[in-house]
Structure 1
Amino acid sequence: MKKVVEYTNVTYHYDSREERDEHVEYMESDGWECSGQIKETLSLHDNEFVWCGKFTKYTQ
């Protein structure tokens, strides 16, 4: 058996766009890929959006 690839997904919520942008820069410098999504809803029944960052890191 041989592991081909492993990946980790993480999602963060932020209080502001500035906080998100600073954290995205840090995560990308540490080898994480950002999905580019900047906001998401907390519920399908709620129109309230939060700042978010979704990241993936691949290892072999």
Structure 2
Amino acid sequence: MRKVLEYTHATYHYNSREERENHVATMEADGWECSGQIKETVSLHSGEYVYCGKFVKYVSL
């Protein structure tokens, strides 16, 4: 058996879109891929949402 690929997921919540955009740039510069999702619903009943960043980083072995 041989492991050929490993990946890590990371999700962040932000206080503003500007904070999100700055962090996305930093993460992508470090080799992470962003899913492109900008907002995430916290509660379906209230319609409350937060700015989010969902990232994945692949490591070839």
**TM-score of the two chains, using structure 1 as the length reference:** 0.93
> One-letter code of the match for 2:19?
E
**TM-score of the two chains, using structure 2 as the length reference:** 0.91
SS at match of 1:21: helix
Aligned to 1:9: 9
Aligned to 2:58: 58
> One-letter code of the match for 1:59?
V
Specify every segment of 5 or more residues in structure 1 that has no aligned partner in the other structure, as ranges.
Answer: none
SS at match of 1:45: coil
Q: What are the equivalent positions in structure 2 for 1:1-60 lying under 5 Å apart?
A: 1-60=1-60
CA RMSD between the two structures: 1.0
Q: Percent identity?
A: 70
> Which stretches of structure 1, 4 residues or longer, exceed 2 Å deviation after superposition?
43-46
Specify every segment of 5 or more residues in structure 2 that has no aligned partner in the other structure, as ranges.
Answer: none
> One-letter code of the match for 2:58?
Y
Residues 43 and 49, structure 2, Cα contact 8 Å, conserved in 1: no
SS at match of 1:40: strand
Shift of 1:34: 0.2
